[in-house]
Amino acid sequence: MKEYKVRFKVAWHETDAARVVHFSNYFKYFERAELELYDYLGFNYATTLKNSTMWFPRVEAHCKYLSPCEFNDEIEVIMNLAEMKEKSIKYNMRVFNLTTQKISAEGYITIVAVDRNIGKAVALPKDFAQAILKYFNQ
Amino acid sequence: MKEYKVRFKVAWHETDAARVVHFSNYFKYFERAELELYDYLGFNYATTLKNSTMWFPRVEAHCKYLSPCEFNDEIEVIMNLAEMKEKSIKYNMRVFNLTTQKISAEGYITIVAVDRNIGKAVALPKDFAQAILKYFNQ
Amino acid sequence: MKEYKVRFKVAWHETDAARVVHFSNYFKYFERAELELYDYLGFNYATTLKNSTMWFPRVEAHCKYLSPCEFNDEIEVIMNLAEMKEKSIKYNMRVFNLTTQKISAEGYITIVAVDRNIGKAVALPKDFAQAILKYFNQ
Amino acid sequence: MKEYKVRFKVAWHETDAARVVHFSNYFKYFERAELELYDYLGFNYATTLKNSTMWFPRVEAHCKYLSPCEFNDEIEVIMNLAEMKEKSIKYNMRVFNLTTQKISAEGYITIVAVDRNIGKAVALPKDFAQAILKYFNQ
């Protein structure tokens, strides 16, 4: 199965007084990988939010912290499709620290398609679901 | 002239790898004082945003950093009305570090009333402007 | 078993363009409850970091999102001791939205005592572990 | 005079409930440009902090907000050397929104070289100052 990867450097403001990336920021890294994938596949989340009542809130997030990242470390977020259901998707995430050559964190996020008007989970848009499946099944 | 004051402790995630509050967070502290004042005066910004097309974007922000704040320091944000015009308000802000007994930062923010539908500055809502004037002129 | 609770209002900058609290901020809420408990028990994390080589990195974090929080909602973080081992502590966390009267999120964080000099997990400081046990076993 | 430019897209978590980038994040954008320049010139701020007692706190920050940025907008931060003194540097910053083709913000930050041991401003490291001058005077 294909993975989706994004690379970037740790920003100064992402560190805390322990001189490592604050643990909450790994969830921002996870989301960055996810939203960049949608962008790459041609599904702009910004446009979806503006032109429809659909949004994709996270319903679950998890992370194990294995090795810290420091300011300016180059990191890679590696994203896999863990499970796709009718209304939700679970992505596995791994943060690899290219500077230290260690796995920094492992986790997952689960998102669900929700219609804001009715406030309930609905089926994932078909073309969206298919594009994601197609990408990871390459 | 009366001042508006809010007190709280520096959160861990507000620090950076220099072990002091990241400079961008002082602007969050300024905003916290401002929005808590509106709340205190009975003008909930959340409700305004939902029930009208009015919002109050910041058009200018400034800060001088005099002495750092560390995790868990108790700080006080002291807010003054610098100037009220027809469509905008400028607030002076001071962050006093109660733990070190030093002035940590001084600055200001200027907000403007904007109608989101037309994307232009409009007159401040009258009751809102009067409540603010009344508070600071006590 | 006793719980530890902290109450505060959702800050404007904690929201995102979906007009709800960004999912990563719940982990900051969890941490706030944890560090305020240490403060309450007389263990200042700031002092510990300065005067010793001990720190308490998070090794695991988890959250289920049940109902969103919006700007200015009053929330309560309710913290329980899930498990204390020789070198680590797991806290269960619940975010209750007092404004909507709904449980907003449930999760946990696991912290471990680490000696920064040797980079390895060590036994929790005895007085620290005992103070925590004493609090929750009231 | 040469400018230093960095390009990136607005992250989801940088937006707030008004669906635009939170005003405090522009200061993070300014800092990103600054620190990436140092990196480009071979002066890693991370290494400086570890191997010496020198750091570069911000002593002043200013921003005028001209036009909002939304999630996923492509932006460019354009950095100029405004003034270099013996102990401090002032950089002018401009955020150009490539998606809307509008200037989003204009401001500056002033940094000062400080010796952490004595807590006082000191002369900028010579090679650091010269490398910056050389870059902007191209």
Residue D6: band (very low, low, confident or very high) from pLDDT cuts 50, 70, 90 = very high
Residue A132: band (very low, low, confident or very high) from pLDDT cuts 50, 70, 90 = very high
Structural Rg of chain C based on CA atoms: 16
How close D104 comes to chain B (CA, Å)?
11
**For residue A102, what are the β-bridge partners?**
A97
Q: CB under 8 Å to A38, separation ≥6 — which residues?
A: A44, A45, A128
Closest residue in chain C to residue B14, using alpha carbons only: C28
Structure tokens at A105: 């964190």
Q: How far apart are CA B54 and CA B114, in angstroms?
A: 6
- Is it the case that residue D96 has pLDDT exceeding 90? yes
Q: How far apart are CA A53 and CA A67, in angstroms?
A: 40
Lowest mean pLDDT among C49-53, D87-91, D131-135: C49-53
Q: How far apart are CA D123 and CA D114, in angstroms?
A: 8
Query: For residue A47, what pLDDT is reported?
Result: 82
Residue D72 to residue A39, Cβ atoms within 8 A: yes
Neighbours of D86 (CB within 10 A): 10
H-only helix segments in B1-138:
25-40, 45-51, 126-136
Q: Which residues of C touch A62 (CB under 8 A)?
A: 60-63
Residue A13 to residue D35, Cβ atoms within 8 A: no
For B37-91, what is each residue's pLDDT tens digit? 999 999 988 788 888 888 999 999 999 999 999 999 999 999 999 999 999 999 9
How close A39 comes to chain D (CA, Å)?
9
Q: Which residues of A touch B12 (CB under 8 A)?
A: 16-17, 22
How close C18 comes to chain D (CA, Å)?
6
Which of C20, C24, C71 faces D13 most closely, judged by CB atoms? C24
Q: Which residues of B touch D21 (CB under 8 A)?
A: none
D62 touches chain A (CB under 8 A): no
D28 touches chain B (CB under 8 A): yes
Lowest mean pLDDT among A44-53, A69-78, B2-11, B25-34: A44-53
Q: How far apart are CA A94 and CA A30, in angstroms?
A: 8
Query: For residue A51, what pLDDT is reported?
Result: 85
Query: For residue A88, what pLDDT is reported?
Result: 98
* HEC profile of chain C: CCCEEEEEECCHHHECCCCCECCCHHHHHHHHHHHHHHHHCCCCHHHHHHHCCEECCEEEEEEEECCCCCCCCEEEEEEEEEEECCCEEEEEEEEEECCCCEEEEEEEEEEECEECCCCEECCCCHHHHHHHHHHHCC
**Residue among B36, B14, B13 nearest B93 (CA):** B36
Label residue A119 exposed, middle or buried (CB < 10 Å: 0-12, 13-18, 19+): exposed
Q: Fill in the amino acid letter for D81.
A: L
- Is it the case that residue D119 has pLDDT exceeding 90? no
Query: For residue D51, what pLDDT is reported?
Result: 85
C44 touches chain A (CB under 8 A): no
Output the pTM of the full model: 0.97
Which of A24, A60, A68 faces C27 most closely, judged by CB atoms? A24
If you average pLDDT over residues B1-8, what whole number do you get? 96
- Provide the number of CB pairs (under 8 Å) joining chain C to chain D: 29
- Is it the case that residue A1 has pLDDT exceeding 90? no
- Is it the case that residue A49 has pLDDT exceeding 90? no
How close B70 comes to chain C (CA, Å)?
8
Q: Which residues of C touch B35 (CB under 8 A)?
A: 11-12, 72
Query: For residue C38, what pLDDT is reported?
Result: 96
Which subunits sit against C, judged by 3+ Cβ pairs under 8 A?
A, B, D
Query: For residue D1, what pLDDT is reported?
Result: 87
Which subunits sit against B, judged by 3+ Cβ pairs under 8 A?
A, C, D
Residue C64 to residue A63, Cβ atoms within 8 A: no
**Residue among D79, D94, D14, D73 nearest D40 (CA):** D79
Kindly report the average pLDDT of chain A as a whole number. 95
Q: Name the phi and psi angles at C68, rounded to 5.
A: -70, 160
Q: How far apart are CA C71 and CA C12, in angstroms?
A: 5
How close A137 comes to chain B (CA, Å)?
38
For D24-58, what is each residue's pLDDT tens digit? 999 999 999 999 999 999 998 878 888 888 899 99
Q: How far apart are CA D125 and CA D129, in angstroms?
A: 6
**For residue B103, what are the β-bridge partners?**
B96
Structural domains in chain B, sorted by start: 4-136 (3.10.129.10)
| Prediction ipTM score | 0.96
pLDDT 10s per residue in chain C (138 long)?
899 999 999 999 999 999 999 999 999 999 999 999 999 999 988 788 888 888 999 999 999 999 999 999 999 999 999 999 999 999 999 999 999 999 999 999 999 999 988 989 999 999 999 999 999 999
Helix (H, G, I), strand (E, B) or coil at D38: helix
If you average pLDDT over residues D58-68, what whole number do you get? 97
B43 touches chain C (CB under 8 A): no
Closest residue in chain D to residue B16, using alpha carbons only: D57
Contact assessment for residue C75 and residue C55, using Cβ atoms and an 8 Å cutoff = no
Which subunits sit against A, judged by 3+ Cβ pairs under 8 A?
B, C, D
Q: CB under 8 Å to D28, separation ≥6 — which residues?
A: A11, A13, B24, D14
C19 touches chain D (CB under 8 A): yes
Query: For residue D52, what pLDDT is reported?
Result: 86
Residue B13 to residue C31, Cβ atoms within 8 A: yes
How close A70 comes to chain D (CA, Å)?
8
- Provide the number of CB pairs (under 8 Å) joining chain A to chain D: 40
Residue B45 to residue C72, Cβ atoms within 8 A: yes
Q: Which residues of C touch D71 (CB under 8 A)?
A: 17
Query: For residue A72, what pLDDT is reported?
Result: 95
Closest residue in chain B to residue C33, using alpha carbons only: B11
If you average pLDDT over residues D95-118, what whole number do you get? 96
D13 touches chain A (CB under 8 A): yes
C31 touches chain B (CB under 8 A): yes
